[in-house]
Chains A and B, each alone.
Chain A
Amino acid sequence: MFLHLGTPKPLSQLATTPVSISSARSKLKILVIDDQPFILKEVLASHGYAIHEMRDISAIELVAGYPIVVCDIKGVGATFHTKHEGAHLFREIRRAFPEKYIVAFTGFRFDATYNEYFRVADVSLKKDTDTEAWVKVLDEAIGIMAEPKHRWLRMRRFLLEEARLELWTVLQIETAFIEAVSARDKNKLLSPIKGFGLPDETRHMLTNFAGSLFTDILGGLLSAAITS
């Protein structure tokens, strides 16, 4: 027997105020993890992007405040003691923050042994990529990350395909997400997920998701409202 009262608000009704890419460039922080100085930093900053650099990270949580992460494949990830270095970081970042836009930054595209890691990233860029191509990729990333709905869709795919949650559980989380975003109240998402009996890792991941999403919404970087 399955009983449920009421109708969930569909995601399609979560209409967001369109964000102009040019204004979002300076608002959505981009983290570059590379053991070498990122030589395009100044050029991309002159295009309006908010580029932040780290030579390496000692904990995955350090990327929490950055919706877009550019990560080198070599010379980083020393703390994690793995031969896959940066490639290992992509996987760990994706596992902890499934919604983040990850750009693999590499001179090793010729090496097919890295393909499984490239697939974890949203896109892979070679080390000598032209500024124009960087702009195209970063604008694409900003277009996705500036929309709460797109962020949720990335998280939803992960919950269904990787975390393998039941569809009904994901629907309940989605309903809570819509309520929370339209009310601009993080707790409307955080409170219900405590009651779904989720594994600790998944609950922690959703808490991170809500944290960064609402930091950006309340910080005026994203806007959203239910149309009806």
Chain B
Amino acid sequence: MNKPMEDSTLLELKQVLRDTMHEVREFNRVIKANSEMLTRLLQIEHEGSPLSLNTQNADNARGQALAIFQTAQMVSARLDLIDFETNPEVFSSERTITGSVYGKFDKARKMLYPHARHKNVRISLTGESRRKSELYPVFDILPFLLLENAVKYSPSNSQVEIAIEEYQRSIDVAIESMGPLVGREELTKLNAKGFRGSEAKKTGEKGSGFGLYFANFVADLHNAKLAFSSGTESLTFNGARYAPFSVTLSFPK
């Protein structure tokens, strides 16, 4: 009697697994590429010979090591999402760590540089807020999901603008980019599990409708409010109608 429900749960789990595999493999690709570059930088002539690094190479090596660490943190955050999705009770024993919202967005922006450069999309970050907040480790994935979504749908030679401002009671993040037009009735469904806007589907970009759902899930864990708005149609790209798209994240202080 419960078979249809079991089937839908199974399908949903398969979708979560497919998305996770895809993202974890992508993160792993970055880790491997960075590790390879780091290994090359730290190469020595033969076993036992001393390592000699000039300042520039030492800086590069530190940068590569940091990139590996940050990407590995993304893998952890992505796996955390699975834990929370499949077993929400584990969240009760989760502990926060201190971090800055600005820093997290800056990190995600840097991680997406290669992808954005490939598409000729520029990601800018402005704002003065460096305030430290108590964040769950899974927070790392939130800026990544929002920015990855913005870069993915941005037409080439366009820009993704992130502005982070601190107010008396909140830290507000605004992300502006060009994206597929989202109708008013679709806007409220954007963070629903598995939902994709009709114009987004026309672009041919792959997507499962889980990214913004997970982003909203992580925002909720932090009592933050995530909102989307779409402007009026201003161009056609990849067969889809495009409009200015903005995401706002209001994070309580």
Contacts and interface: CB of A to CB of B under 8 A. Distances in A.
A109 B87 contact: yes
Contacts of A112: 86-87, 89
B90 A123 contact: no
A83 interface: no
Interface stretch (B76-84, B108-116, B193-201, B225-233): B76-84
B87 A133 contact: no
Given A110-B83, A123-B95, A136-B97, A130 B89 contact: no
Interface string B85-127: 0110110010111100000000000000000000000000000
A124 B92 CA distance: 9
B93 A123 contact: yes
A128 interface: yes
Given A109-B90, A110-B87, A118-B90, A130 B97 contact: yes
A136 B76 CA distance: 18
A115 B93 contact: no
B137 interface: yes
A128 B79 contact: yes
Contact of B86 (A110, A123, A124, A132): A110
B149 interface: no
B73 interface: yes
Interface residues of A, number: 18
Given A118-B93, A123-B95, A128 B76 contact: yes
Contacts of A129: 76, 137
A140 B97 CA distance: 13
B83 A126 contact: yes
A161 interface: no
A130 B98 CA distance: 12
B97 A133 contact: yes
Interface of A: 109-112, 115, 118, 121, 123-124, 126, 128-130, 132-133, 136-137, 140
Contact of A130 (B86, B90, B93, B137): B137
Leading 10 A-B pairs by shortest Cβ distance: A109-B83, A109-B90, A112-B87, A110-B86, A128-B76, A110-B83, A132-B97, A124-B93, A123-B93, A115-B89
Interface of B: 72-73, 75-76, 79-80, 82-83, 86-87, 89-90, 93, 95-98, 137
Contacts of B79: 126, 128
Contacts of A115: 87, 89-90
Given A112-B86, A115-B89, A124-B90, A130 B95 contact: no
A112 B9 CA distance: 15
Contacts of B137: 129-130, 133
B93 A126 contact: no
A111 B87 contact: yes
Contacts of A118: 89-90, 93
Nearest to A121: B93
Contacts of A128: 72, 75-76, 79
A106 B164 CA distance: 36
Nearest to A114: B87
Nearest to B81: A110
B95 A136 contact: yes
Nearest to A112: B87
A133 B95 contact: yes
29 contacts: A109-B83, A109-B87, A110-B82, A110-B86, A110-B90, A111-B87, A112-B86, A112-B87, A115-B87, A115-B89, A115-B90, A118-B89, A118-B90, A123-B93, A124-B90, A126-B76, A126-B83, A128-B72, A128-B76, A128-B79, A129-B76, A129-B137, A130-B76, A132-B98, A133-B95, A133-B97, A133-B137, A136-B97, A140-B95
A63 B185 CA distance: 60
Given A118-B90, A124-B90, 19 more contacts: A110-B82, A110-B83, A110-B90, A111-B87, A115-B89, A118-B93, A121-B93, A123-B93, A124-B93, A126-B76, A126-B80, A126-B83, A129-B137, A130-B76, A130-B137, A132-B97, A133-B95, A136-B95, A137-B95
A193 B29 CA distance: 62
